[in-house]
Amino acid sequence: MSGLKSEATAGCPYIWHAEIKNWVQILLGSIALALGVTAFLQPNQIVSGGTPGMAILLCHLSGLTVGTLILAINIPLLILGYFYLGQGFVWRTLVVVVGLSGLVDLFSEVLKIGAVTNNPFLAAIYGGAAIGIGVGLILKGNASAGGSTIVTRILANHIPLRPGQLLLCMDAVIVISTALVFGAVTPALWSLVSVIVTGRCIDLVLRNYVLVPS
């Protein structure tokens, strides 16, 4: 018994180290994602894929803050995910969503961080990269930023499309909606660039990394 106890005790530091590493990656990823939205995309009327992109569009239409809308969009999805994806996935994702929502509003409403650049090309590239790196780090922390990830994981079990194809379809709808909301095609084209850069950066961050199922 003492041998088993000592082995279990020896494993505890490793478990705590891994968990701390996960949450550090989640925190850094959330900061990068929030800065990508507030310092690059939103001021230049460029959107990303997923929940942040939807929140930027709805912010333009409603006047509510992007952080508030990220939270509002995710709440019904989290409730749905609770029944389909399990408590562990939902609670960890809820922490990320609340933290991300708070960071976005902290940067834009409290600290008043404005556009780093007004050049749409640079904004699309660097904003997309910041969001891609952020999402990648959050995924490496065995968490999710919510939104499209929840919908994808639920629908992938019920329709004959792979998760990547579902995400592409949802991002396409968001990009097309950009032209309608802002009344011009140019923001949609820059948003497409941003989405492509985001996807590439996620792939780079997750290279040689195996996602752990929730």
User: Tokens 């660039």 map to which residue?
Assistant: 193
Residues 6+ apart with CB under 8 A from 97: 70, 71, 74, 78, 145, 146
Q: Are 182 and 131 in contact (CB under 8 A)?
A: no
Q: Specify the DSSP element, H or E, that contains 9.
A: helix 2-36
Listed range (50-54, 110-114, 204-208) with the worst mean pLDDT: 204-208
DSSP code of residue 23: H
Q: Locate the domains of the chain by residue range.
A: 17-205
Listed range (20-34, 86-100, 123-137) with the worst mean pLDDT: 86-100
Residue 88 has pLDDT above 80, yes or no: no
Residue pLDDT, tens place only, 102-161: 999 999 999 999 999 999 999 999 999 999 999 989 988 888 888 877 887 777 677 776
Residue 60 has pLDDT above 70, yes or no: yes
Residue type, 133: I
- What is the pTM (predicted TM-score) of this model? 0.86
Q: Which has the closest alpha carbon to 129: 43, 179, 193?
A: 193
Q: Which has the closest alpha carbon to 49: 211, 156, 188?
A: 188
